[in-house]
C-alpha cells in the first residue's frame, strides 16, 4: 500500500499491526476513524516454509544465553504462533479496574475459539495424553484459535486465526497501512503526544506522521524502546518475564501418526510448572529437528512424541541504557525446569518413548515489561496525554497465560475507551 502524503493528520496512529494493533485498527476504522498503521515488517504472503519463516522472524537477546522470537510482518507474531488460546485472567484485570467481560464475550463470537475435536487429535497427542493420565496428571484439552470447519488434514497453518485478517478488514474500512515503517519515537508537545517519527526500510531518513491518538502496539520488547526514545523514564523498571521452556522428544517404535495441532493439551503442575503437548505437524517437526541438529529423525516423524516444559521464572531484568534487554535466570528457576523435565521424562517413558533428547532452552515469550497503574493507567494511557500502550508489554506477571486471546480482549477494551472518548 502506497502512502504519499506522509504528513497527513489521522484520528489514530497505530504502531505495529500484530495481535493488538490489528484489533484496534479494525475496531477504530469500523467507526469511521481515520487510522494509520505503521508496520516495521513487510506485507508478503504468509507461507509456512523455511523461506517464509526466515523472511519474517526476528530474534532479540533477553538473557546472556536466550533470545526471544517474534515476527515482523503484517499481523505480527500470529504469523508463526501455535494458536493455543488460554482464557484471559478476568479477575486479575478486574482487580486493576479493567473489566474485560464484555470484550471476551464479543471475541468468542468473532474468533474460532474452541477445544480441538477428538477427531482432530493425532495419534501422537493421544498416546502422550493417555500416558500422562495413567500417571495421574490432569492432562486436559486447551482452547485453540483454529477454524476446524476448514481443516482438510493438510492446511494446519492456514486454519490458524491470524491477526492479518483484522488488518485486511481495517484496510477495507479505509485504514492506511505503511509497511517497512519502523517507528523510533513519539513526537511530544509539552505533556501531549501529537505524532510519531519513523523511517522506511534501512534508510534512516526520518518521516513524521501526526494524529490525535498514538497507540504503541509494537510488541513487549519494541514498545519500551520507543517509550525510552521518547523520553519516558524508568521503562521496564520492574523487569519482565520470559517463561523459559524446553522440549523433550522421544521415539515410540509401535506408533504411526501424523495429525497434530501442537499445544492442544497439557497439564499444570505445582511450583509454576506447565507441561504442554509438543506434537507438531510435519513441517514444524522437521524445522525443530534441523534446529536441534537431529536431521536423521525426520524420516521417522510419525513415531515421535514430545512435551514442552514451561516454567514461571522470577520477574527481573532490565532494559539497559544502551537499549538492550538483560535478565539472569536464578537457581530456583533452574530447579523448576529440572522438576518439569523429570515429570516429562516419566510421561514419555511410560508412553513407550526411547532415545529421548532435550531441545535447547528457549525464551517462552518475553512479556510484562510495562506495568498497569505505574507506567500506564487503567485506560492504558502513559504519562503523556494521547499516548497509549497496548500489546504484550502490559500483561501482568501474576496470572500468566498464553497471551493471544487476552491481547485481543485488551485491544477491544482500549478501542471501546478510545471510541467513547
Ligand atoms: C513460535 C511462537 C509460538 C507462539 N505460540 C503462541 C500460542 O500458541 N498462543 C499464544 O497465545 N501465543 C503464542 N505466541 C505468542 C504470541 O504470538 C505473541 O505474544 C503475540 O502475538 C504478541 O502480540 P503483540 O500485539 O504484543 O505483538 P506482535 O504480534 O509481535 O506485533 C507487534 C508488531 O509490531 C511491529 N513492530 C515492532 N517494532 C516496530 C516499530 N518500531 N515500528 C513499527 N512496527 C513495529 C512488528 O513487526 C509486529 O508486526 C507464540 C510466539 C511464538 C514466537
Q: What is the pLDDT of residues 14-27, one digit of tens each?
A: 999 999 999 999 99
Burial class (CB in 10 A: 0-12, 13-18, 19+), 293: exposed
Cell 506522509 belongs to: 6
Helix (H, G, I), strand (E, B) or coil at 174: coil
Residue 90 placed within a domain: yes
Query: CA-to-CA distance for 355 and 94, rounded, in angstroms?
Result: 47
State the distance between the two ends of the chain, measured CA to CA, in whole angstroms. 29
Of 338, 358, 378, the residue at which a domain comes to its end is 358
Strands 353-358 vs 245-252: parallel, antiparallel or unpaired: antiparallel
Query: CA-to-CA distance for 220 and 224, rounded, in angstroms?
Result: 7
Nearest protein CA to atom 52 of ligand 1, as residue: 81
Among 17, 18, 116, name the best residue to mutate to test ligand 1's pocket (greatest count of ligand atoms within 8 A of Cβ). Answer: 18
pLDDT at 2: 42
Average pLDDT score over residue span 303-324:
95
- Residue 164, pLDDT > 90, answer yes
Residue 386 placed within a domain: yes
Q: What is the overall mean pLDDT for the chain?
A: 95
Helix (H, G, I), strand (E, B) or coil at 310: strand
Tens-digit pLDDT profile for residues 329-344: 999 999 999 999 999 9
Pair 188, 304 in one domain? no
Pair 249, 302 in one domain? yes
pLDDT at 234: 86
Query: CA-to-CA distance for 21 and 13, rounded, in angstroms?
Result: 10
Pair 207, 74 in one domain? yes
Query: CA-to-CA distance for 147 and 365, rounded, in angstroms?
Result: 24
Burial class (CB in 10 A: 0-12, 13-18, 19+), 30: middle
Pair 177, 223 in one domain? yes
Burial class (CB in 10 A: 0-12, 13-18, 19+), 59: exposed
Residue 383 placed within a domain: yes
Nearest protein CA to atom 1 of ligand 1, as residue: 81
Residue 7: band (very low, low, confident or very high) from pLDDT cuts 50, 70, 90: low
Residue 28 placed within a domain: yes
Query: CA-to-CA distance for 230 and 224, rounded, in angstroms?
Result: 10
User: Residue 137 Cα, ligand 1 centroid: separation in angstroms?
Assistant: 31
Pair 71, 201 in one domain? yes
- Residue 105, pLDDT > 90, answer yes
DSSP secondary structure letters along 338-404: HHHHHHHHHHHHHTTEEEEEE---B----B--S-BTTTB-TT-B-SSBTEEE-SGGG--SSS---SH
Cell 509454576 belongs to: 272
Pair 342, 277 in one domain? yes
Query: CA-to-CA distance for 212 and 385, rounded, in angstroms?
Result: 10
Residue 298 placed within a domain: yes
In the chain, how many domains are there? 2
At 56, list the grid cell. Answer: 519474517
Pair 334, 261 in one domain? yes
Asked if 308 contacts 247 with a C-beta cutoff of 8 angstroms, the reply is: yes
Asked if 111 contacts 144 with a C-beta cutoff of 8 angstroms, the reply is: no
> Please, what's the b/e burial string for 41-53 (b: 16 or more CB within 10 A of its CB; e: otherwise)?
bebeebebeeebb
- Residue 9, pLDDT > 90, answer no
Nearest protein CA to atom 31 of ligand 1, as residue: 18
pLDDT at 236: 93
CA dihedral 121, 409, 68, 387 (to 10 degrees): 170
Residue 316 placed within a domain: yes
Tens-digit pLDDT profile for residues 32-91: 999 999 999 999 999 999 999 999 999 999 998 999 999 999 999 999 999 999 999 999
Pair 416, 268 in one domain? no
144 Cβ below 6 A of ligand 1: no
Pair 142, 123 in one domain? yes
243 Cβ below 6 A of ligand 1: no
pLDDT at 4: 43
- Residue 257, pLDDT > 90, answer no
Average pLDDT score over residue span 229-255:
94
User: Residue 76 Cα, ligand 1 centroid: separation in angstroms?
Assistant: 5
Pair 412, 322 in one domain? no
pLDDT at 415: 98
Query: CA-to-CA distance for 209 and 196, rounded, in angstroms?
Result: 6
Which among 311, 420, 392, 378 has a CA at the least distance from the CA of 23?
Answer: 392
pLDDT at 3: 46
Which atom from ligand 1 is nearest to the alpha carbon of 402?
A: 11
pLDDT at 6: 52
Residue 4 placed within a domain: no
Pair 181, 45 in one domain? yes
218 Cβ below 6 A of ligand 1: yes
Which atom from ligand 1 is nearest to the alpha carbon of 226?
A: 41
Which atom from ligand 1 is nearest to the alpha carbon of 16?
A: 34
pLDDT at 366: 96
Of 310, 339, 358, the residue at which a domain comes to its end is 358
72 Cβ below 6 A of ligand 1: yes
pLDDT at 271: 84
**Domain that residue 148 falls in:** 114-158+241-358
User: Residue 352 Cα, ligand 1 centroid: separation in angstroms?
Assistant: 36
Pair 199, 165 in one domain? yes
Average pLDDT score over residue span 269-276:
94
Outline where 84-149 has alpha helix (H).
Answer: 90-94, 101-110, 123-134
User: Residue 90 Cα, ligand 1 centroid: separation in angstroms?
Assistant: 21
- The CATH number of the domain holding residue 28 is 3.50.50.60
Residue 205 placed within a domain: yes
User: Residue 80 Cα, ligand 1 centroid: separation in angstroms?
Assistant: 9
Cell 537499549 belongs to: 323
User: Residue 211 Cα, ligand 1 centroid: separation in angstroms?
Assistant: 24
Sheet holding 353-358, edge to edge: 140-141, 265-269, 273-277, 304-311, 245-252, 353-358
Amino acid at each position: 500500500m502506497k502512502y504519499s502524503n506522509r504528513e497527513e493528520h489521522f484520528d489514530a496512529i497505530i504502531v505495529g499491526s500484530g495481535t493488538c494493533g490489528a484489533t484496534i485498527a479494525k475496531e477504530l476504522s469500523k467507526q469511521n476513524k481515520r487510522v494509520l498503521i505503521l508496520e516495521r515488517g513487510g506485507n508478503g504472503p504468509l507461507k509456512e516454509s523455511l523461506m517464509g519463516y526466515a523472511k519474517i522472524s526476528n530474534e532479540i537477546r533477553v538473557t546472556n544465553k536466550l533470545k526471544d522470537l517474534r515476527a515482523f510482518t503484517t499481523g505480527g507474531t500470529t504469523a508463526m504462533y501455535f494458536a493455543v488460546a488460554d482464557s484471559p485472567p478476568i479477575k486479575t484485570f478486574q482487580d486493576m479496574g479493567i473489566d474485560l467481560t464484555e470484550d471476551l464475550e464479543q471475541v468468542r463470537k468473532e474468533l474460532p475459539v474452541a477445544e480441538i475435536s477428538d477427531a482432530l487429535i493425532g495419534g501422537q497427542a493421544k498416546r502422550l495424553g493417555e500416558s500422562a493420565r495413567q500417571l495421574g496428571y490432569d492432562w486436559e484439552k486447551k482452547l485453540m484459535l483454529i477454524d476446524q470447519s476448514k481443516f482438510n488434514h493438510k492446511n494446519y497453518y492456514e486454519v490458524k486465526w491470524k491477526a492479518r485478517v483484522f488488518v485486511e478488514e481495517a484496510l477495507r474500512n479505509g485504514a492506511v497501512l505503511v509497511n517497512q515503517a519502523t517507528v523510533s519515537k513519539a513526537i511530544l508537545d509539552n505533556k501531549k503526544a501529537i505524532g510519531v517519527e519513523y523511517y522506511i526500510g534501512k534508510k534512516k531518513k526520518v518521516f513524521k506522521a501526526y494524529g490525535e491518538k498514538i497507540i504503541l502496539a509494537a510488541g513487549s520488547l519494541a514498545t519500551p524502546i520507543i517509550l525510552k526514545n521518547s523520553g519516558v523514564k524508568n521503562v521496564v523498571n520492574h523487569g519482565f518475564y520470559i517463561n523459559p521452556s524446553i522440549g523433550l522428544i522421544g521415539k515410540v517404535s509401535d506408533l504411526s501418526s501424523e495429525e497434530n495441532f501442537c499445544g492442544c493439551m497439557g497439564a499444570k503442575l505445582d511450583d509454576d510448572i506447565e507441561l504442554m503437548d509438543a506434537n507438531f505437524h510435519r513441517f514444524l517437526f522437521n524445522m525443530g529437528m534441523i534446529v536441534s541438529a537431529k536431521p536423521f529423525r525426520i524420516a521417522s516423524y510419525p513415531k515421535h512424541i514430545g512435551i514442552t516444559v514451561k516454567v514461571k521464572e522470577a520477574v527481573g531484568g532490565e532494559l539497559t541504557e544502551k537499549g538492550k534487554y538483560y535478565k539472569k535466570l536464578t537457581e530456583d528457576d533452574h530447579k523448576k525446569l529440572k522438576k518439569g523435565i523429570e515429570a516429562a521424562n516419566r510421561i514419555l517413558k511410560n508412553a513407550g518413548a526411547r532415545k529421548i533428547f532435550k531441545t535447547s532452552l528457549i525464551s517462552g515469550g518475553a512479556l510484562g515489561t510495562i506495568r498497569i497503574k505505574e507506567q500506564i493507567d487503567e485506560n492504558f494511557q502513559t504519562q503523556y496525554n494521547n499516548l497509549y500502550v497496548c500489546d504484550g508489554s502490559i500483561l501482568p506477571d501474576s496470572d500468566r497465560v498464553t497471551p493471544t486471546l487476552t491481547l485481543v480482549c485488551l485491544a477491544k477494551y482500549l478501542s471501546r475507551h478510545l471510541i467513547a472518548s
